[in-house]
Structure 1
Amino acid sequence: MMHRTSSRPLAKIMMTAAVGVMAATGMAAPASAAEAPQAERTHMGAQWETVTTWVQGNVRTGPSTDYSIAYTVAANQNLTAVCWLEGGTVSANGYTHNKWVYLSDNKYIWGGLLKGNEVGNVSSLCW
């Protein structure tokens, strides 16, 4: 079983969400919170990759089952991946780990739903 070693990516995502809410309501965000989220910075120079699901599963608004479901994908569906990161641990389909793939639509899918290794063979780590 993989353990989460850092809460930095999740904290950065949560901060970005707060900034988005503030912007939508017309509130000013502190300068340090207004920077791009870590995952978005990582993909600017990275090659996006195609990942394929091996079972039906949920795509979420953040890298944990604590986040809401954005949409559901079917088995053998192709998605565009940006990078991978550690998030909430999931146990399903005979796998247990905390690897999540950040998608080009700013959503997340647990790597255990993807063909290949635990991150769907995505080569870029989100940082």
Structure 2
Amino acid sequence: MSTRIFARAALVGAGALALLGPFTAGTAAASATGEQGGARVLAAPYAVVPYETVNVRTGPGTSYGILATVPAGQPLGAYCWTRGERITDNGYSNDVWVKLLEGYVSAVYLKGDEYGDLPASARC
């Protein structure tokens, strides 16, 4: 079983259909039950998890607008990573930003390695 399939299975087992309810509730396309948000996590090839509350932005830097704030521990569907503004926090610094369906998050705030546990080959 590949890591990607295992990660998706784990998310489903943890109740992934409700994971992004608060994140998608502000969008016009969100359903009342939050099912679309869970489908977004499952549709993405990777999942990332913030270790603290994180801002989702329109681009890979703090000069871009904030689209949403996601609480620590809430899995997010991710597609790829790119270089952007260098962020330093809690003694850690890098310029990797992870692309979600809705926007970008700095990998500094994600669990895992410097790419938020996305493969190094998953560059946008």
> What range is the shorter-chain TM-score in?
0.5 to 0.7
Amino acid in the other structure paired with 1:75: A
2:84 is aligned with 1:87:
yes
2:72 is aligned with 1:97:
no
Amino acid in the other structure paired with 1:58: N
Shift of 1:93: 2.2
Question: How far apart in 1 are the matches of 2:89 and 2:74?
Answer: 18
Unaligned stretches of 5+ residues in structure 2: 1-43
Shift of 1:92: 1.2
Question: How far apart in 2 are the matches of 1:76 and 1:70?
Answer: 18
How many residues end up aligned between the 2 structures?
79
- When the two chains are superposed, the root-mean-square deviation of aligned CA atoms in Å is 1.1
Equivalence for 2:110: 114
- 3-state DSSP of counterpart to 2:63: coil
Amino acid in the other structure paired with 2:123: L
- 3-state DSSP of counterpart to 1:64: coil
Question: How far apart in 2 are the matches of 1:90 and 1:112?
Answer: 7
Shift of 1:125: 0.8
Unaligned stretches of 5+ residues in structure 1: 1-46
Question: How far apart in 2 are the matches of 1:68 and 1:95?
Answer: 23
Shift of 1:95: 1.1
TM-score by length of 1: 0.59
Amino acid in the other structure paired with 1:112: V
Runs of 4+ in 1 over 4 A off after TM superposition: none
Which protein has the larger Cα radius of gyration, Structure 1 or Structure 2? 1
Equivalence for 1:48: 45
Q: Which of structures 1 and 2 has the larger relative contact order (alpha carbons within 8 angstroms, sep 6+)? A: 1
2:65 is aligned with 1:68:
yes
Q: Kindly, what percent of the aligned residue pairs are identical? A: 41
